[in-house]
Amino acid sequence: MLPSRLLTALLVLLAWSGTAPAAESVWDRAREAHAGARAITVYRSPTCGCCGGWIEHLRAHGFTVDDQKVADLGAVKRRLGVPADMGSCHTAVIDGYLVEGHVPADDIKKLLKDRPAVAGLAVPAMPVGSPGMEAGDRKDPFSVFAFSKDGSFTSYRDYWNY
């Protein structure tokens, strides 16, 4: 994101030059530039196919993925502080947040926009129908949880009738 001083200076310069676009369009362009810089690191087993499906889901939603295939995913989860109750088949890190399991890209975008005081989001286990776990028309209900470093969690979004 552009620092506010830089953006203000840009608006003043454009206004002074007589070619100033509407302020809203400058803000929109700055927001779009920031949104395009969604770099996420995903840690997964080299043999997990559904993790690859989730990575493709992220890429389709504008994320740049650093795909890290690791031999001991449990060690990565412990090092990062993923609560055992929230565990799934892959763990990701983005902009200071953890993302555990098949969390939909739109929920990650909302997390990054709202910046709540949580450690991250999780979809425990591997629910059929979640991103990367598609199986025809079958869509099991699932919840996305927000979790804290102490292991406590709350519901973030439910996918019961989607």
Instruction: Find all residues with CB under 8 Å of 135, minimum gap 6, and list them.
Output: 128, 129
Tell how strand 97-101 and strand 63-69 pair up.
Answer: unpaired
pLDDT score, position 161: 77
> How many C-beta atoms surround the C-beta of residue 157 within 10 A?
16
> How many C-beta atoms surround the C-beta of residue 56 within 10 A?
13
CB 118 within 8 A of CB 94: no
Q: What's the rounded Cα separation, in Å, for the pair 105 and 118?
A: 17
| C-alpha closest to that of 35 among 118, 113, 119 | 113
Q: What's the rounded Cα separation, in Å, for the pair 64 and 56?
A: 10
**pLDDT higher than 80, residue 9:** no
Q: What's the rounded Cα separation, in Å, for the pair 138 and 67?
A: 27
pLDDT tens for residues 141-162?
999 999 998 989 999 999 997 7
Q: What's the rounded Cα separation, in Å, for the pair 34 and 104?
A: 20
Q: Pick the more confident residue, 11 or 39.
A: 39
pLDDT averaged over every residue in the chain: 83
Q: Pick the more confident residue, 24 or 135.
A: 135
pLDDT tens for residues 64-98?
999 999 999 999 999 999 999 999 999 999 999 99
List 154's β-bridge partners, or say none: 146
DSSP state of 153: E
pLDDT tens for residues 127-146?
999 999 999 999 999 999 99
**pLDDT higher than 80, residue 1:** no
Q: What is the pTM of this model?
A: 0.77
Cα separations (Å) of 94 from 21, 42, 105, 115, 129?
33, 9, 12, 12, 23
Helix axes 23-35, 4-17, angle to 10 degrees: 140
